[in-house]
Amino acid sequence: MSIDLKKLTITEAHTRLAQKDWSALELTDAYLSVIEERDPAIHSYLEVFDDARENARRADALIREKGKDIHPLTGIPFSIKDNILIKGHVASCGSKILEKYRAAYDATAVVRLRDEGAVFLGRGNMDEFAMGSSTERSAFGTTKNPHDISRAPGGSSGGPAAAVAMGGALAALGSDTGGSVRQPASFCGIVGLKPTYGSVSRFGLVAMASSLDQIGPFAKTAADARIIFEAISGHDPMDSTSLPNRSGQKAERSEKLTIGIPSFMDEVKVDDDVLKNFEESIAILKKMGHTITTVVLPNVQYSLPVYYIIMPAEASTNLARFDGVRYGLHKEGENLFEDYTKTRGAGFGAEVRRRILLGTYVLSAGYYDAYYTQATMLRRQITADFENVFTDVDAILTPTSPTPAFALGERTDDPLRMYSSDVFTVPANIGGLPALSIPSGFVKRGTASLPVGLQFTGAHLDDSLLLDIGEAFERETEYSFIV
């Protein structure tokens, strides 16, 4: 039986599974054959699990038991970013230092998907320890963009995003510290959500910068992203930053919203055709009845510098645990200190070492106040600016990234240019706010048609409102996301 995966959504697959038109095993097999056919060129997976079909059989048992009452994720095949723990499987974080590390337990998000009968197809490629915007920093080879294999899929969750875009998974989990779900979603033409900080448990997500990290879903539609978000969110006692379960949603808002465009967009260099696409999206939103206005976030232009102090500071302390004793790689030295230096020298790649150096520097006794304290003060200011603006508008709109997918190799020697692709995504992490990227059309580069994305940032806990706007926008536009 052949299943057409091109336009398949979770919603549609759920109907077919519940009606027993397809079995979960047949659906999983369909994805496994796409992976076999296409992934040698794309390299979105670091490993395809040998127990994927066993997962599918378990889903089929659930379907037999529950019939039409199965959860919408029962039997749905996922790619899981390689920094999210799945018990018994390797979780390498795209790093040599964890190449052979096997997870001793499941991440909470994984438990919640597993409980609903989701199928885990394999580990999605990523920039080493989620540091990067192109997946070129993976220690195990670059992932290619399925829309044009000479280009980057974005990063750091480029593997899971490319898997969904090429039809090698129906959905995926990534992690977003400064844009790593939204930017690859936009480069690959799919939907990516960075939830409100604390709404999805970080238990079992290998920490990069703990105050910024969130697990987020990739899917083809906002409706599908919502199904995943609802399944994985909710309080978790294992994560001390996990928010309490929501006591009722915020009051229903009218369907006609006020959407703000930050004035700082004028200071950012955005490609002409990306800007044109953005203006077309604004026109669509106006036609839908929304009011568009300009908002001033007086400190948001400092978001990237603030991010590149706080993130390396937290990463340098988080990564101290990889010492050659407790996890993964071990290189023997003459003494304990040499064990550390040899293991870390051999195990960490250049970008990770750069950030450990940066982070250690900004936390060092002489510089702590000048850098780290200043950055945390500005962070509070940026967060307060957002709170202010959200008393006037329901959501903030920007392109997800100033450019479409860039060419592989184009930015690897120029870290600042690489960092600049996150200029629009980083502010939401600084403020702990939800932000959604959805496809908004295509731009041409040579003969290639490359997707671009639109980002809606919302007030604290307004994840669901963003998904509402996303769904309505999709109804107006119907972009074809799949290659």
Q: Does 82 bind ligand GLN (CB under 6 A)?
A: no
At closest approach, how far in Å is the CB of 401 from ligand GLN?
Answer: 10
Our finding on whether 130 is near ligand GLN (CB under 6 A) is yes
CA distance 7 to 12: 9
Q: Considering only 3-11, 126-134, 229-237, 390-398, which stretch makes contact with ligand GLN by CB under 6 A?
A: 126-134
Write out the binding residues for ligand GLN, residues 402-461 only, by CB under 6 A. Answer: 422
Answer yes or no: are the C-beta atoms of 217 and 455 closer than 8 Å.
no
The Cα-based distances of 63 to 9, 118, 179, 200, 242 in angstroms read: 18, 12, 36, 27, 32
Nearer to ligand GLN, 132 or 404 (CB): 132
Piece of 60-68, 178-186, 393-401, 440-448 that binds ligand GLN (CB under 6 A): 178-186
Q: List Cβ neighbours of 187 (8 Å cut-off, separation of 6 or more).
A: 145, 151, 152, 153, 154, 158, 161, 401, 404, 405, 450, 451, 453
Question: Which residues fall within 8 angstroms of residue 72, CB to CB, at 6 or more apart?
Answer: 10, 11, 14, 116, 227
Among 28, 108, 125, 180, binds ligand GLN (CB under 6 A): 180
> Which residue in 23, 135, 143, 156 binds ligand GLN (CB under 6 A)?
156
Residue 330 near residue 343, CB atoms below 8 Å: yes
Residue 477 CB, nearest approach to ligand GLN (Å): 26
Q: Identify which of residues 59 and 181 has a Cβ nearer to ligand GLN in the complex.
A: 181
Q: Which stretch binds ligand GLN (CB under 6 A): 127-135, 339-347, 396-404, 442-450?
A: 127-135
User: How far is Cα of residue 391 from the mean position of the Cα atoms in its chain?
Assistant: 27
Residues 260-319 that bind ligand GLN (CB under 6 A): 311
Q: Is 198 exposed, middle or buried (0-12, 13-18, 19+ CB in 10 A)?
A: buried
Q: Which stretch binds ligand GLN (CB under 6 A): 111-119, 177-185, 218-226, 251-259?
A: 177-185
Q: How far is the CB of 140 from ligand GLN (least distance, A)?
A: 17
Q: Is 133 in the site for ligand GLN (CB under 6 A)?
A: yes
Site string for ligand GLN, 184-223 (x = CB under 6 A): ------------------------x---------------
The DSSP bridge pattern shows strands 171-176 and 214-219 to be antiparallel
Write out 15-81 in H/E/C secondary structure. HHHHCCCCCHHHHHHHHHHHHHHHHHHHCCEEEECCCHHHHHHHHHHHHHHHHHHCCCCCCCEEEEE
Strands, sheet with 448-458, edge to edge from the N-terminal-most edge strand: 45-48, 119-124, 77-81, 171-176, 214-219, 191-194, 435-445, 448-458, 395-399, 258-262, 291-295
Catalytic sites, residue numbers: 81, 156, 180
Q: Which residue is nearest to ligand GLN (CB)?
A: 180
Would you list the DSSP string of 421-437? TTTTTHHHHHHT--EEE
Residue type, 135: T
* Under 8 Å between Cβ of 242 and 235: yes
Contact between 399 and ligand GLN by CB under 6 A: the answer reads: no
Binding mask 84-123 for ligand GLN (x = CB under 6 A): ----------------------------------------
β-partners of residue 172 are 79, 218
Instruction: Choose between 14 and 194: whose C-beta lies nearer to ligand GLN.
Output: 194
List 72, 75, 124, 132, residue binding ligand GLN (CB under 6 A): 132
Rounded CA-CA distance 454/438 in Å is: 5
Contact yes or no for 290/283 (Cβ under 8 A): no
Q: Please state the closest distance from residue 333 (CB atom) to ligand GLN, in A.
A: 30
Count residues contacting ligand GLN (CB under 6 A)? 13
**Of residues 128, 176, 224, 394, which one binds ligand GLN by CB under 6 A?**
176
CB of 330 to ligand GLN, least distance (A): 27
Q: What is the CA radius of gyration of the chain?
A: 21
Cα separation, 105 vs 86, whole angstroms: 6
Stretch that binds ligand GLN, among 11-19, 102-110, 175-183, 453-461 (CB under 6 A): 175-183
Report in angstroms how near the CB of residue 307 gets to ligand GLN at its nearest: 7
CB of 208 to ligand GLN, least distance (A): 6
CA distance 247 to 304: 34
Q: Give the binding range for ligand GLN (CB under 6 A) out of 88-96, 130-138, 158-166, 430-438.
A: 130-138
Kindly indicate which of the ranges 63-71, 125-133, 257-265, 331-339 contains the residues binding ligand GLN, using the contact rule CB under 6 A.
125-133
The answer to whether 356 contacts ligand GLN (rule: CB under 6 A) is no
Asked whether position 179 contacts ligand GLN by CB under 6 A, the answer is: yes
The token duo for 370 is: 């000048």
The answer to whether residue 398 forms part of the interface with ligand GLN (CB under 6 A) is no
**What tokens were used for 62?**
């659930």
- Chain contacts with ligand GLN (rule: CB under 6 A): 130-133, 156, 176-180, 208, 311, 422
